[in-house]
Copies of this chain bind each other. A is one copy, B any other.
Amino acid sequence: MYKLIKKCGNARRGEFTTVHGTVQTPAFMNVGTCAAIKGGLSSYDLDEIRCQVELCNTYHLHVRPGDELIKELGGLHKFMGWDKPILTDSGGFQVFSLAKLRNIKEEGVTFSSHIDGRKIFMGPEESMRIQSNLASTIAMAFDECVENPAPYKYSKESCERTTRWLYRCKEEMERLNSLHDTLNKKQMLFGINQGCTYDDLRIEHMQKIAELDLDGYAIGGLAVGEPKEDMYRIISAVEPYMPKEKPRYLMGVGTPGNIIEAVSRGVDIFDCVMPSRNARHGHLFTWDGIINLNNAKFENDSEPIEPGCQCPTCQRHSKAYIRHLFKAKEVLGLRLAVTHNLYFYNTLMERIREALDNDTFDEFKEKYVDLLDARKK
Point out residues on A near B: beta carbons under 8 Å: 34-42, 44, 60, 64-65, 69, 72-74, 79-81, 299-300, 302, 312, 316-318, 320-321, 323-325, 327-328, 330-336
**Are A74 and B335 neighbours in the complex by a CB distance under 8 Å?**
no
| Distance A37 CA – B328 CA, assembled complex (angstroms) | 12
A64/B317 contact (C-beta < 8 A), A300-B69, A332-B36, A332-B40 known: no
- Cβ of A320: which chain B residues have Cβ within 8 Å of it? 65, 69, 73, 79
What are 8 inter-chain pairs, A to B, with CB distance below 8 A?
A: A35-B321, A35-B324, A35-B328, A40-B40, A40-B334, A42-B332, A44-B316, A331-B334
Q: Are B41 and A332 in contact (CB under 8 A)?
A: yes
Q: Are B334 and A81 in contact (CB under 8 A)?
A: no
Bound: A334/B65 CA distance, A? 17
Q: How far is the CA of A36 from the CA of B331 in the complex (A)?
A: 9
Of A35, A64, A69, A321, most B-chain CB atoms within 10 Å: A321
- With contacts A316-B44, A316-B81 taken as known, whether A73 is within 8 angstroms of B300 at the C-beta atoms is yes
Q: Report A133 CB to chain B, min CB distance, Å.
A: 14
Contacts of A328 in B (CB 8 A): 34-36, 60, 64-65
Are A299 and B69 neighbours in the complex by a CB distance under 8 Å? yes
What is the CA–CA distance of A60 and B65 in the complex, to the nearest angstrom?
38
Are A318 and B37 in contact (CB-based, < 8 A)? no
| Residues in B whose Cβ lies below 8 Å from that of A336 | 42
Beta-carbon contact of A317 and B81 below 8 Å = yes
A325 to B37, CA, bound (A): 11
Query: Chain B: which residue is nearest A320 at the CB level?
Result: B73
Chain B positions within 8 Å of A35 at CB level: 321, 324-325, 328
Least Cβ distance of A343 to chain B in Å? 15
- Asked if A64 meets B327 with Cβ closer than 8 Å, knowing A36-B332, A335-B40, the reply is yes
Whole-angstrom CA separation of A74 from B302 in the bound complex: 9
A45–chain B nearest beta-carbon distance, Å: 9
Closest chain B residue to A60, Cβ basis: B328
Interfacial chain B residues near A44, Cβ < 8 Å: 312, 316
Contact B40 A324 (CB under 8 A): no
Interface centre among A40, A318, A323 (most CB of B within 10 A): A40
B38-A73 in contact (CB<8A)? no
Check B334–A73 contact: CB distance below 8 A: no
Q: Roughly how many angstroms separate A60 CA and B330 CA in the complex, as a whole number?
A: 12
- What CA separation (Å) do A285 and B168 show in the bound complex? 49
Cross-chain contact A331 with B330 (CB below 8 angstroms):
no
Determine whether the beta carbon of B302 is less than 8 Å from that of A73: yes
Between A64, A300, A328, the greatest number of chain B beta carbons within 10 A of the residue's beta carbon is seen for A328
Q: Is the CB of A65 within 8 A of B330?
A: no
Quick one: which of B79, B324, B334 contacts A321, CB cutoff 8 A?
Answer: B79
A312 to B, closest residue via Cβ: B44
Given contacts A69-B299, A316-B44, contact A331 B81 (CB under 8 A): no
